[in-house]
Amino acid sequence: MNYAPTARTRVRRLKKRAAYDESTVHAILDEGFICHVGFVVESQPYVIPTVYARDRQCLYLHGAVASRMLRTLASGIDVCVTVTLVDGLVLARSAFHHSINYRSVVALGKARLVDDAQERMRALHLITDHVVPQRWKEVRGPNQLELKQTSVLALPLQEVSAKIRSGPPVDDEEDYALPIWAGVLPIETRLRRPVGDARVLPAARKPGLAGFKRFASAKKRPAVPKS
């Protein structure tokens, strides 16, 4: 299934890098865990980073009740959410043709405040486990005071597009004769050994790293079209 491109989401520059199929969009959203949320308040634009989780055709965002972002978006204004994964630095023979290999998603729409208690708790569960797999079942759940201080927004995934660049640099033909190294410097994010705080009890189990699939080697990623 594809997301139908709209006048706002259709990729106009380098169209061959665009993707509108659900599998590509969802894979990028599921690998990322930090998004940037753009909105405008009284002609002043803001872009705020936050964590998120996807549940089928919905993105859940959370933050403090007192947050300007959540208070503003809950009123039903337009929002732009972006997620970007950086896979490599692309070094060309000319400065102009340097680039970055990336996978990105842009989602547009209006977010709604999640005021149903069951849905909000489920969203918090999803966000927690999206960032740290299986963490929800290991920790104390939020109490009533904490819930009163926390808001959750839901953004339907309706106007969505992805854009991807992969592969080596593309130089001007005459530049291939230059004795300049060109290619890709792959980038990976890795987890290091857990560092406990000073008051961890001896019986407490360290988090297992195997569940963090987003930090797996790039060799395990599905192939994407080269540009």
Q: How far apart (Å, rounded) are the C-alpha atoms in residues 121 and 151?
A: 10
pLDDT at 217 over 70: no
Q: Domain residue spans in the chain?
A: 15-213
pLDDT in tens, 132-153: 999 999 999 999 999 999 989 9
Q: How far apart (Å, rounded) are the C-alpha atoms in residues 29 and 147?
A: 26
Assign 131 a pLDDT band (cuts: 50, 70, 90).
Answer: very high
**What pLDDT, on the 0 to 100 scale, is given for residue 162?**
96
Name the residue among 156, 154, 212, 159 with its Cα closest to residue 32.
Answer: 212
pLDDT in tens, 167-216: 999 999 999 999 999 999 999 988 888 999 999 999 999 888 888 888 86
> Based on the number of CB atoms within 10 Å of its own CB, is 196 exposed (0-12), middle (13-18) or buried (19 or more)?
exposed
- Written out in words, the top-level CATH class of the domain with range 15-213 is mainly beta
- The residue to which tokens 């990028």 are assigned: 28
Name the E strands within the chain: 18-19, 34-41, 44-55, 58-64, 78-91, 99-110, 112-113, 150-156, 159-165, 183-186
pLDDT in tens, 73-89: 777 788 999 999 999 99
**What pLDDT, on the 0 to 100 scale, is given for residue 201?**
96
| Residue 173 neighbours by CB under 8 Å, 6+ apart | none
Helix ranges (H only) for 5-163 are: 22-31, 68-73, 117-131, 144-148
Name the residue among 189, 193, 192 with its Cα closest to residue 214.
Answer: 189
**What pLDDT, on the 0 to 100 scale, is given for residue 167?**
96
Name the residue among 211, 183, 155, 28 with its Cα closest to residue 103.
Answer: 28
| Residue 159 neighbours by CB under 8 Å, 6+ apart | 3, 6, 8, 9, 107, 108, 109
Q: How far apart (Å, rounded) are the C-alpha atoms in residues 86 and 95?
A: 19
Assign 71 a pLDDT band (cuts: 50, 70, 90).
Answer: confident
Q: How far apart (Å, rounded) are the C-alpha atoms in residues 32 and 36?
A: 11
Assign 102 a pLDDT band (cuts: 50, 70, 90).
Answer: very high
Q: How far apart (Å, rounded) are the C-alpha atoms in residues 56 and 36?
A: 20
High-pLDDT (> 90) share of the chain, %: 68
Q: What is the token pair recorded at 99?
A: 């680039």
Mean pLDDT of all residues in the chain?
A: 90
Q: How far apart (Å, rounded) are the C-alpha atoms in residues 96 and 73?
A: 39
Name the residue among 174, 184, 177 with its Cα closest to residue 91.
Answer: 184
